[in-house]
Amino acid sequence: MEVATKQDKEEPQPVVTYSASLGFKLYVLCVMTLNVAGYILLLRYTRTVDGPMYISTTTVVMIEVAKLICSLLMLVRDNRSIGAMIRDVYKNVFCNPTDTFKMCIPSIIYMIQNNLAFVALSNLDAGTYQVTYQLKIVTTALFSVALLRKNISWLQWFAILVLFSGVACVQLQPGAFSQKSDPHMNFAVGLAAILAACLCSGFAGVYFEKVLKGSDTSLWIRNVQMYLFGIVSGLVGVYTKDYGKVMENGFFYGYTPYVWAIVAAGSIGGLYTSVVVKYTDNIIKGFSTAISIILSSIGSFYLFGKNISLLFCLGSLLVMVAIFLYGMPRKVAPKPSESSATTKPV
């Protein structure tokens, strides 16, 4: 028994799994799904109404600021005073730069991903862009296996591919591939950009999950670290893309109650996403996002007078089948070395 214990100590430590009740997980997933659906509908609505158009890069910054404020408030609740919260943040964020800069990586990668998506959309037709961008579901699963050593069965891989197909069908519009090619569009550049964006999305999400579960650092401290870098990268986006507009019209130009609702929904979605990643994983988050896309599309049909296509119905069915297949229980044979091991709760 002593020899087995020493061997166990020499093995690399797995990613920490945080336990939570099934009811809590379902609650968080439902809230995040409905919130993302509402967020998408708000974005579409604000882009169709008459009036001065707000600057999208500034809303990105304000969403990061709102998420930072909410995380600080959660730290006040946990520490039971503002002074204790300030000391906690100072100790774990500013006095521990090595740990804090771990969160710089996903912030930079997400900024690169957003720029790559813009390049891809400028060089590809809508249909190719929408279908290819769903490969981020697959890249997330691949990085989960590579970085988190996640064991995905062949049936779950099949479910992920079915989910990819379903979401692609849902987002496709009739005639999406029949658009006339623009002479200024470069298909090779667009395809390379969208594939790189999918890789960035998968890596950044799984890296964030690995950092969250790889230490006992508070979720809200991790969020503070993440959102500080998010604010900086967002301001870089404002400066490089919309500096002239901001200087001419002001940072909050075009802001209406609906735009502030977007900020609120975006901040809530970001906070719940971090909770989902901590207590489940990025693949489950992808399934939740797929459902929210279907819900927002249904809302668009009713609010904006669009017709439900046969392709949309097929895609919705594929997503539901994928959720069922991925959630099917599977039998895992215990390893001989684990038969006498004692499992300790986290």
- Taking Cα atoms as reference points, which of 270, 296, 263, 297 lies closest to residue 285? 270
User: Do 284 and 276 meet the contact criterion of CB atoms below 8 Å apart?
Assistant: yes
Name 178's Cβ contacts closer than 8 Å, sequence gap at least 6.
none
User: Do 24 and 279 meet the contact criterion of CB atoms below 8 Å apart?
Assistant: yes
- Taking Cα atoms as reference points, which of 191, 42, 203, 176 lies closest to residue 112? 203
What pTM value is reported for the model? 0.75
Percent of the chain with pLDDT strictly greater than 90 = 30
H or E element, residue 264: helix 257-279
Computed over every residue of the chain, the mean pLDDT equals 81
If pLDDT is split at 50, 70 and 90, which confidence band does 13 have?
Answer: very low
What are the domain boundaries of the chain? 22-328
Residue holding tokens 């400066």?
239
Mean pLDDT calculated for residue range 112-121: 79
With 50 as the cut, is the pLDDT of residue 152 above it? yes
With 80 as the cut, is the pLDDT of residue 5 above it? no
User: Do 23 and 236 meet the contact criterion of CB atoms below 8 Å apart?
Assistant: no
